Amino acid sequence: MKETGHPKNAEKWYRKSSKAGDTDAMVFLGILLEESDRIEEAEKWYREASELGDTHAMYSLGHLLEGTSHPEEAEKWYREASELGSTDAMVGLAILLRSTDRLDEAEKWYREASELGDTDAMVGLGLLLDEKDLPEEAKHWIRKAAKKSDSEAMLILAILLRNTGHLEEAEHWLREAVEQENVQAKVLLGALLVEKDLLEEAEHWLRKAVEQGNTNASVALGLLLQDTERTEEAEHWLRKAADAGNTIAMNNLGALLRETGRAEEAGHWFRLALKAQDSD
Q: In the predicted model, is pLDDT for residue 140 greater than 80? A: yes
Burial class (CB in 10 A: 0-12, 13-18, 19+), 241: buried
Task: Compute CA distances 134 → 27, 48, 94, 114, whole Å.
Answer: 39, 42, 18, 17
What pTM was estimated for this model as a whole? 0.86
The pLDDT score that the predictor gives to residue 60 is 98
Q: Delimit the domains of the chain by residue range.
A: 1-84, 215-280
Q: Which CATH number fits domain 1-84: 3.50.50.60, 1.20.1630.10, 3.40.50.1000, 1.25.40.10?
A: 1.25.40.10
* CATH annotation of 215-280: 1.25.40.10
The pLDDT score that the predictor gives to residue 277 is 85
Over residues 176-201, the mean pLDDT reads 97
What Rg do the C-alpha atoms of the chain give, in angstroms? 24
Residue 33: pLDDT band by 50, 70, 90 thresholds?
A: very high
Question: How many whole angstroms separate alpha carbon 123 and alpha carbon 114?
Answer: 9
Over residues 244-266, the mean pLDDT reads 96
Residue 278: pLDDT band by 50, 70, 90 thresholds?
A: confident
The pLDDT score that the predictor gives to residue 6 is 59
* Matching fold, domains 1-84 and 215-280: yes
The pLDDT score that the predictor gives to residue 270 is 96
Q: In the predicted model, is pLDDT for residue 235 greater than 70? A: yes
Q: In the predicted model, is pLDDT for residue 2 greater than 50? A: no
Over residues 111-124, the mean pLDDT reads 98
Question: How many whole angstroms separate alpha carbon 113 and alpha carbon 82?
Answer: 9
The pLDDT score that the predictor gives to residue 3 is 46
Contact call for residues 138 and 160 (beta carbons, < 8 A): yes
Question: How many whole angstroms separate alpha carbon 196 and alpha carbon 205?
Answer: 14
Question: How many whole angstroms separate alpha carbon 204 and alpha carbon 186?
Answer: 9
Question: How many whole angstroms separate alpha carbon 3 and alpha carbon 80?
Answer: 29
Contact call for residues 250 and 272 (beta carbons, < 8 A): yes
The amino acid at residue 167 is: L
Task: Compute CA distances 57 → 30, 40, 70, 82, 194, whole Å.
Answer: 9, 15, 16, 12, 48
Contact call for residues 44 and 61 (beta carbons, < 8 A): no
| Neighbouring C-alpha atoms within 13 Å toward the C-beta of 205 | 25
Q: In the predicted model, is pLDDT for residue 112 greater than 90? A: yes
Over residues 27-37, the mean pLDDT reads 96
Cβ count near 6 (within 10 Å):
12
User: Can you give the length of the chain in residues?
Assistant: 280
The pLDDT score that the predictor gives to residue 280 is 66
What DSSP string describes 37-66?
T-HHHHHHHHHHHHHTT-HHHHHHHHHHHH
